Amino acid sequence: MTLLKNKTVLITGGTTGIGLATAQRFLKEGAKVVVTGRNADTLAKARETLPKEVEVWKSDAADQDAVAALFQRVEREVGALDVLFLNAGIARFAPITEASLEDFDKQFAVNIRGAWLALKHAASVLKDGASVFVNASAVHGKGLPGATAYAATKAALRSLARTSAAEFAARGIRVNTISPGPIETPIYSKLGMPAAAVDEFATSIVQQVPLARFGTADEVAGAALFLASDLSSYVTGIDLPVDGGMAQV
């Protein structure tokens, strides 16, 4: 299939997990793909994993100057964007009484300020009729213990996307969110929790999922393809859950 033939796509946080799987799926659908990341190791691995035609660029989603430079580079090297997937994000889970202010600030800096900065600086390189979507989370509408800051950033992303959809509508640009539930990605190894605690946390999450399993990054990539393609040409401002029914049933 070639649902994205001749379309130019940028995926932030595209070197691992959902972003990487989406890049691979979009490439198969005919897109020209650029992915970004900030970790030297994952950038190097992505360059090894992805075909040579995929551009892999270093960029810090939370840094204003880096974000501005990123979209200047987009304009200079690949031209205008048909699709923008704001996927970069971090997670730190802990009870509110134990959570650190540092982790709170980092999550807001990357997850919500980063997306806001990207939308601000991407506006001039988005084609009229482009598709933009943001990786939110099923927890934005749930009271998940240990996720006070993380869930708040995802709820803010939902609001940001809805308002941006209204602002960009005059140009035919669609803005949506995609909200994964528990997905098998490397993010669980980056929670800052001991391995046993991560396993216990994962088990407790799966118990809340009607389909009784973790999803895969490829399953999220399939939903992302719908939002990126013309199949969703009359869809804007929505939240598309990919959560096994976690927040729906």
What digits encode the pLDDT tens for the residues 179-201? Answer: 999 998 765 555 555 666 667 76
User: In which residue are the tokens 């992303």 written?
Assistant: 157
User: Distance between CA 147 and CA 145 in Å, rounded?
Assistant: 6
234 is catalytic: no
User: In which residue are the tokens 């299939």 written?
Assistant: 1
Any idea where the domains of the chain sit in the sequence? Answer: 8-242
3-class DSSP state of 107: helix
User: Distance between CA 114 and CA 23 in Å, rounded?
Assistant: 20
Query: Does the domain made of 8-242 have the CATH classification 3.30.56.10?
Result: no
Is there a contact between 228 and 4 (Cβ–Cβ < 8 Å)? yes
Which residue type, as a one-letter code, is found at position 156?
A: A
Phi/psi of residue 180, each to 5°?
-70, 150
Q: Count H helices, E strands: the chain?
A: 8, 9
Is there a contact between 121 and 66 (Cβ–Cβ < 8 Å)? no
Per-residue pLDDT of the chain in tens (249 residues, 90 and over written 9): 699 999 999 999 999 999 999 999 999 999 999 999 999 999 999 999 999 999 999 999 999 999 999 999 999 999 999 999 999 999 999 999 999 999 999 999 999 999 999 999 999 999 999 999 999 999 999 989 999 999 999 999 999 999 999 999 999 999 999 999 999 876 555 555 566 666 776 788 888 899 999 999 999 999 999 999 999 999 999 999 999 999 999
User: Distance between CA 68 and CA 47 in Å, rounded?
Assistant: 23
Instruction: Say how far residue 124 (Cα) sits from the centre of its chain.
Output: 21
What digits encode the pLDDT tens for the residues 116-142? Answer: 999 999 999 999 999 999 999 999 999
Residue 23 in tokens? 């890049």
List the catalytic residue out of 150, 157, 217, 220.
Answer: 150
